[in-house]
Structure 1
Amino acid sequence: MNVKLKFILVYLSLYASSYTIQAQNIQYDPLLDPAVEIPDAPVRNGNGEYIWYPGQLSAHLQQKRLKESEKRCVNVGYPGKFYAPVYHTSFCKEVNLPAETLMEWTSTGKVKVSVNEKEAGNSDKSSLTLPKGKSTLLFKVETDNNLPAIKVSFNGEVSTDHWKASMDGIEWNIAETSPVFGTTGRMPLDDPETEVTIHPISILPIRNATVENQKIKIQKNGYILVDFFHIEVGKVAFTAKGEGKLTAFVGESPEEALNENTKLFEQYPIESYSLTEGEQQIILPERAVRYLKIFSDKECEISDVKFKAKIWPVDFLMSFECNDERMNNIWNASVASLHTSTHGFYLDGIKRDYLPWSMDAVLSTFAGDYLFGDEQVSRNSLSVAMLPLNPQKTDLGIPDYPLHALIGFNHYYQRYGDFNTILSYRDRIEQLLKLYETLQDERGFISANVGVSWGFVPGWATRRGPDKKGTPTYAQIMLYYNYKIGTDFSEKWGDRKSAKHYRMKAEALKKSIIKHFWNEEQGLFINGYTKDGKLDTVISHHAQYWAILADIFPKERYDHLFEVLPTIPYYHDYVSYEKGYEFLAYSKAGKVREMWDFLFTVFGDWLAQGHTRFPENFSYKKPKDEQLVFYKRPYGLSLCHGANGVPGVVAVLNGIAGFSQSPTKSNHYIIRPELMDLKWANIEFPVKEGKIKLKLSKEGKNLIEIPDGCKVDFIDKNKAKKTFTRKGSYSI
């Protein structure tokens, strides 16, 4: 790197740091930033309109995101196979009408309608009159290249309840719907995003250029650098006047935007624009952007630079504020990181691939369900984590990734209390569990010797192992956790035989895990076996936090574990996107202060460097340029990764608020607040019955407000418990 570029980057770093220091309680999310222009959003009616087969919206939307990714992103690849989109679905419903009723429908494809097994309409007809009394309705929808979906109304009132859907006309399932997809005049696959206008927070003349009162002049071979503060996906627009050729470069960091070596780009280069002396409105193609470099080989003027970003519509259901601005900023950046990554799924890096990945997507629901409560985004993310129908071992790319799905569905049920969703995915859940049974060896373990392409991926923080091609302990614990969830789900849907079977599988696997992998002398779980079958006695963090989450780590050893964790080599040096899961374990173990100390050290350092979203990986002890390297590519690191928005949310919800749920009674909540050194903290968060609101004080009284229909235990620092069962506000 030349001396001048180093000087520029040092200046930018100081500028960003000064902005961060001066700003109090920075609004990192564009929808909360008063400097961002936000159009009036259409009013959502709160109910769905179209219906489709469960998981098929996810399957079709995944293909749409893949095409968008391939158009923009240079390095795109997916291991394993996914739930395939289909183009034909049948929908049926039995009605009992009090009078003659007009039925109307709109569909995404060709329609055949039958009433009481008699064909009554086709694509040329979109309404018919139903007689009084009972009728059995059947719609068959065929599409060329679209999600088969239909909207049906009776006397002008849309009907989404009690519809069943089938892909073969034999097996029927509960139809899926959403108040976000396919409403307010849109079709189900039309993205409901809001376009906001983000203005630059700085425009710096870097070479042979001047900037005065937003008037930009670029001389021959000069260039400027624009900072929009927010990393988002969208199109940059500006007015240019002059001659010659103008070229734009974009990036998530100034280093990336200033780089001109197209071989190093993570997004395809933007073609140059020829200027013709008169004013031209230039709109760049869609890119993930924070920084923009504009270069001109001849003199030109630039004005009205703005970033038209597409933002997923959300309701901010959870809020947090306290007297420590460091915590407030980590919280706000966490929310923004997750929101920026929300586009129909909780996506992987928006710059690098813009795709849903199983582990990232499922983990993101643990925060997104409390922040935004978009159930369909969560269902899409959970569905993509599962394998195709009737999965085979050859469908696996990363053998542990589908194990996240059931863990996510279990969380979904706890959060929303919606067992119909669990039932609608029952066939795929049962098939997934049966597949893993076929992969177990005589010890009950799964290994990477099943023809998979990648091997196990617990996250990227694997400098201490385990061997991705071996038999890692953490994956066996995840499988045990899946069998426990399979037991519970089977009991709830009335299959006692399967419940007994999975209970026995879980108990046997737990015994085998402890026998092979628990090191009594160290009081910790070892890594597992290598691909050569040798015992890997190294200690890493993955098995420990999964053991806490699955309730097999001895509680009396918690203190010892959290004394050892910080001493594990690379533990702070190389931090990856699995941290949200690990922080759930921190919270469960009551290690709130340790969790926040980690956040201050690693996540706080990232913000102090001027970043505004959290990345896929942290290596904060490395030199600045090396922190951006990933996959051996200089700008390969995703600087906005939704999964790393989760730790900050967990640290507030499950840490400071001390929120947890009874494992047996889904409307029973526990609040065990931990203020540490805080003077006060105000926290609101949703539960399925409404909202819980907390005003916590170090010195004065605590206030709690709870909704109707739930039971809340408030346990203070002295372990004194007060129980509330009626809606209201209480002083403690």
Structure 2
Amino acid sequence: LDTREEYSHSRKLGDECSETQLYAPPCISLLNIHDSITIDKVEWRPVTCDPAEVDGFKIPITTSDRDDDNAVTSSLAGKDGTSFVFPHQQDLCKVSTIHPTTIEHNSTQTSHEIMCDFGREILGHVRITIVPSKASILSSSSVEPPIQLRVGETHAEALNDNEEHFEQSIDLCTNGDDNTMWLSSHLLAFRFVRIIIASDDIDPDEVTIACLSQEAEIDNNAGSLDFGPNAPSGNNILDRNIWDCAAATLKLCIHQNFIVDGIKRDRLPWLGDVVVSLMANAYSFHDMECIRWSLSVLGRCGMEKLYGNTNNYALEEEVDARVQVAESHVNGIVDYSLWFFICHWLYQRYFGDESYLRQEWPLLETRLVNLIQWCSDKNKGWFIEHESEWIFIDWTVEGDKSIPLQILWWWALDCAHDLAKSMLLVATDDESKEALNSVVELIKDVQSKLETSLLERDDIQAGYSRHAHLLGVLSGLYSRLDDRASGDWWDPDTSDERVSLLRKSRKLVEESRSALLGKDFAAVATPYMKHLECLALIRLDERSTALDQVRKYWGGMLETGATTFYEAFDEGEAISDVAAFYDRPWARSLSHAWSAGPCALYPEILLGIRPLSDGWKEWACSPIESVSSVTSEVNTMYGTIRIDLNQTQLR
């Protein structure tokens, strides 16, 4: 199939809506806005599949349009006449008050300080109340706070007074004229709060500090994992603490129905975090809505760059189209555009949400066809890198990033192929079936060329990093050689070739096993990739090693005082080391969604629980030999799977 020919079946999102109409999140894309124009000077209007269906918060996609330079409106009236609140304006919808667990006072010659420890990571507003009798003298037309606020995810960060190193805005606002109550103007991520009182008119003993916090409203579908008293090597307490901390991390990073990367930074959906949190969510909260919203908003970013791209033929148009694709990547990252298809496949595997796939397929198809047409080598199937593109993979990757990128490209194509086949099963008319068959053939053509270029070399794994090895295992690339070896083994004309393919497949698996078990390759840099590394060890049936890795890595974070898990971590880091990142002393996010992996890893390691078909219609369970007592519950679309293992039976 000539992938350069015009692809007539690429459709703009929304041209076809499924009978079961879901809605995407209230997603805002800024279009045609000059850099000098702030968000407050933008007039918003909704654009949907059916404009008549605009209904409060259920707006499939929202774009902006400036009618004139003086547009200042940032609200939209809904059907009932109420004002529509846009995502960037949304704040806490359900507030709970949390009080500090410990309070310390410290006086100096010029001020009095109060340090509060809330005992765990929190996302919320800091509220400071001053008793009225002591604050009456503060009542005036001035709204300058008589106190100063400092916050930190660590004690040391809360002690910082250098504004250059502030990671969050610590402005305060008051509730009225009496200045008795002050509130942080913005949501803050913290465990520690420090209040500096410079006025003699305020009695420190009459100042109370609390947090107005919001956590995700998770329904009663939450899964669980209970480690019995006879867990292996007496590690039941450690295992339970790791599981609980991972679940707390995930719950805190589900904010306003989105999966955000971290509560301090950036508080936005990033696909790398969705990769891990999707799997962790499946084994814990079973919250499908936040995954749908996150995938929907991520998939729509940059889409306006792709419409009409597949009709270009002239060389200059081809160059322009390639640039447009480079500017359309999910989160602006090449590998995240590839993970996007893998995430949709994972979502179907763990949640079986067929209606959502039908809704999102036009978008998936548009992205896929543009990547194939403008980013893949027409002879080898390789993903062609563009000079303007950002390839992330991990914060530190030893060697060439292009090798793990090519494996990810193969994996993305494989997942897209499965998604297209799923769409074929529900297609009802001949035109849709023809379009979907065209997509399937397009994918098979590119994937076949890529397989050949990746697998037929003698030195397949030359230049591999640890990341390439773990992705090679997880993607199923090596097992594709097993598929090629299948057939009539009694045929003397092909039996030698089949034996050779099987030997090569086994060699690839064993080389990756050796790489992942050894220390010759640089370690992964983030819990994101550590989760995938442990998952690869599970796939290699090295579950005892995976369990040791979970305990060392995530247990190491607990040893530094973690109440939620971090954005990055090097084994052996001390508590004084964990806050620094990006050459800034307090930049590291200490509650990050992609570190919630143990929620999914423990059930797979200990009990071998995983889905074998979409939505857990078929699933596997194979307890590890060293585990004697554990209970797990996993919620699925078919009901709850409960597994009880003790020293005498499994049920």
Q: Percent identity?
A: 21
Once residues 380 and 275 of structure 1 are traced to their aligned partners in structure 2, the CA distance between those partners, rounded to angstroms, is: 37
Structure-1 residue corresponding to 2:35: none
After superposition, the Cα gap between the structure-2 partners of 1:342 and 1:551, relative to the gap in structure 1 and judged at 3 Å, is: same
1:234 to 102, 105, 124: 124
Q: Which secondary structure does the structure 1 equivalent of 2:577 belong to?
A: helix
Q: Does 1:542 pair with 2:467?
A: yes
Structure-1 residue corresponding to 2:400: 466
Structure-1 residue corresponding to 2:528: 577
Q: What code does the residue aligned with 1:681 have? A: V
Structure-2 residue corresponding to 1:696: 645
Q: Does 1:451 pair with 2:400?
A: no
Q: Within 5 Å, which residues of 2 pair with 1:247-266?
A: 247-266=148-167
1:633 to 584, 596, 617: 584
TM-score by length of 1: 0.64
Structure-2 residue corresponding to 1:514: 455
Once residues 271 and 187 of structure 1 are traced to their aligned partners in structure 2, the CA distance between those partners, rounded to angstroms, is: 23
By how many angstroms is 1:694 displaced?
1.0
| Two-structure CA RMSD over aligned residues (Å) | 3.8
Alpha-carbon displacement from aligned partner over 1:146-165 (angstroms, at most 9, x marks no partner): 799879xxxxxxxxxxxxxx
Q: Contact 2:335/2:405 (CA < 8 Å) preserved in 1? A: no
1:491 to 403, 424, 437: 424
Alpha-carbon displacement from aligned partner over 1:613-632 (angstroms, at most 9, x marks no partner): 00110023345433322111
After superposition, the Cα gap between the structure-2 partners of 1:54 and 1:665, relative to the gap in structure 1 and judged at 3 Å, is: closer
Q: Does 1:358 pair with 2:271?
A: yes
Structure-1 residue corresponding to 2:8: none
1:416 to 351, 361, 370: 351
Q: Does 1:301 pair with 2:204?
A: yes
By how many angstroms is 1:110 displaced?
14
2:251 to 324, 335, 339: 339
Q: Contact 1:232/1:289 (CA < 8 Å) preserved in 2? A: yes
2:101 to 198, 201, 205: 201
Once residues 575 and 298 of structure 1 are traced to their aligned partners in structure 2, the CA distance between those partners, rounded to angstroms, is: 45
After superposition, the Cα gap between the structure-2 partners of 1:280 and 1:52, relative to the gap in structure 1 and judged at 3 Å, is: farther
Structure-2 residue corresponding to 1:399: 334
After superposition, the Cα gap between the structure-2 partners of 1:654 and 1:147, relative to the gap in structure 1 and judged at 3 Å, is: farther
Structure with the larger strand share: 1
After superposition, the Cα gap between the structure-2 partners of 1:188 and 1:472, relative to the gap in structure 1 and judged at 3 Å, is: closer
TM-score by length of 2: 0.72
Q: Contact 2:543/2:624 (CA < 8 Å) preserved in 1? A: yes
Unaligned runs of 5+ in 1: 1-50, 64-69, 72-83, 93-104, 112-143, 152-181, 210-218, 527-536, 704-732
1:481 to 409, 414, 420: 414
Q: Contact 1:448/1:471 (CA < 8 Å) preserved in 2? A: no
By how many angstroms is 1:295 displaced?
1.4
Q: Contact 1:398/1:456 (CA < 8 Å) preserved in 2? A: yes
After superposition, the Cα gap between the structure-2 partners of 1:427 and 1:273, relative to the gap in structure 1 and judged at 3 Å, is: closer
After superposition, the Cα gap between the structure-2 partners of 1:664 and 1:240, relative to the gap in structure 1 and judged at 3 Å, is: closer
Q: Which secondary structure does the structure 1 equivalent of 2:547 belong to?
A: helix
Alpha-carbon displacement from aligned partner over 1:552-575 (angstroms, at most 9, x marks no partner): 235745455334324345755743
Q: What code does the residue aligned with 1:327 have? A: D
Q: Contact 1:246/1:275 (CA < 8 Å) preserved in 2? A: no
Q: Contact 1:262/1:269 (CA < 8 Å) preserved in 2? A: no
After superposition, the Cα gap between the structure-2 partners of 1:461 and 1:471, relative to the gap in structure 1 and judged at 3 Å, is: closer
Q: Which secondary structure does the structure 2 equivalent of 1:674 belong to?
A: coil
Structure-1 residue corresponding to 2:238: 326
Structure-2 residue corresponding to 1:123: none
Q: What code does the residue aligned with 2:518 have? A: T
Q: Contact 2:607/2:624 (CA < 8 Å) preserved in 1? A: yes
Q: What code does the residue aligned with 1:297 have? A: A
Q: Contact 1:246/1:272 (CA < 8 Å) preserved in 2? A: no
After superposition, the Cα gap between the structure-2 partners of 1:602 and 1:108, relative to the gap in structure 1 and judged at 3 Å, is: closer
After superposition, the Cα gap between the structure-2 partners of 1:279 and 1:423, relative to the gap in structure 1 and judged at 3 Å, is: closer
By how many angstroms is 1:301 displaced?
1.5
Once residues 243 and 58 of structure 2 are traced to their aligned partners in structure 1, the CA distance between those partners, rounded to angstroms, is: 48
Q: What code does the residue aligned with 1:90 have? A: D
Once residues 452 and 524 of structure 2 are traced to their aligned partners in structure 1, the CA distance between those partners, rounded to angstroms, is: 34
By how many angstroms is 1:609 displaced?
1.6
Q: Which secondary structure does the structure 2 equivalent of 1:519 belong to?
A: coil
Q: Contact 2:165/2:584 (CA < 8 Å) preserved in 1? A: yes
Q: Contact 1:583/1:651 (CA < 8 Å) preserved in 2? A: yes
2:294 to 381, 393, 412: 381
Q: Within 5 Å, which residues of 2 pair with 1:280-299?
A: 280-285=180-185, 286-299=187-200
Q: Within 5 Å, which residues of 2 pair with 1:543-622?
A: 543-553=468-478, 556=506, 558=509, 560-568=511-519, 571-572=522-523, 574-622=525-573
Alpha-carbon displacement from aligned partner over 1:195-237 (angstroms, at most 9, x marks no partner): 12222121123x328xxxxxxxxx7423232111222221122
Q: Within 5 Å, which residues of 2 pair with 1:22-171?
A: 56-60=24-28, 86-90=46-50, 107-108=55-56
Once residues 79 and 357 of structure 2 are traced to their aligned partners in structure 1, the CA distance between those partners, rounded to angstroms, is: 22
Unaligned runs of 5+ in 2: 1-18, 32-37, 60-72, 139-145, 230-235, 307-323, 428-432, 480-504
After superposition, the Cα gap between the structure-2 partners of 1:579 and 1:145, relative to the gap in structure 1 and judged at 3 Å, is: farther
How many residues align? The count is 525
Once residues 366 and 147 of structure 1 are traced to their aligned partners in structure 2, the CA distance between those partners, rounded to angstroms, is: 36
Q: Which secondary structure does the structure 2 equivalent of 1:248 belong to?
A: strand
After superposition, the Cα gap between the structure-2 partners of 1:307 and 1:570, relative to the gap in structure 1 and judged at 3 Å, is: farther
Q: Contact 1:60/1:147 (CA < 8 Å) preserved in 2? A: no
After superposition, the Cα gap between the structure-2 partners of 1:628 and 1:402, relative to the gap in structure 1 and judged at 3 Å, is: same
Once residues 57 and 613 of structure 2 are traced to their aligned partners in structure 1, the CA distance between those partners, rounded to angstroms, is: 44
Q: Contact 1:661/1:669 (CA < 8 Å) preserved in 2? A: yes
- Structure of greater relative contact order (alpha carbons < 8 Å, 6+ residues apart): 2
Alpha-carbon displacement from aligned partner over 1:292-318 (angstroms, at most 9, x marks no partner): 011122443144322110112002521
Once residues 418 and 77 of structure 2 are traced to their aligned partners in structure 1, the CA distance between those partners, rounded to angstroms, is: 31
Q: Contact 2:560/2:575 (CA < 8 Å) preserved in 1? A: no
Structure-1 residue corresponding to 2:621: 671
After superposition, the Cα gap between the structure-2 partners of 1:542 and 1:109, relative to the gap in structure 1 and judged at 3 Å, is: closer
Q: Which secondary structure does the structure 1 equivalent of 2:111 belong to?
A: strand
Once residues 476 and 487 of structure 1 are traced to their aligned partners in structure 2, the CA distance between those partners, rounded to angstroms, is: 16
Q: Contact 2:607/2:622 (CA < 8 Å) preserved in 1? A: yes
By how many angstroms is 1:670 displaced?
1.1
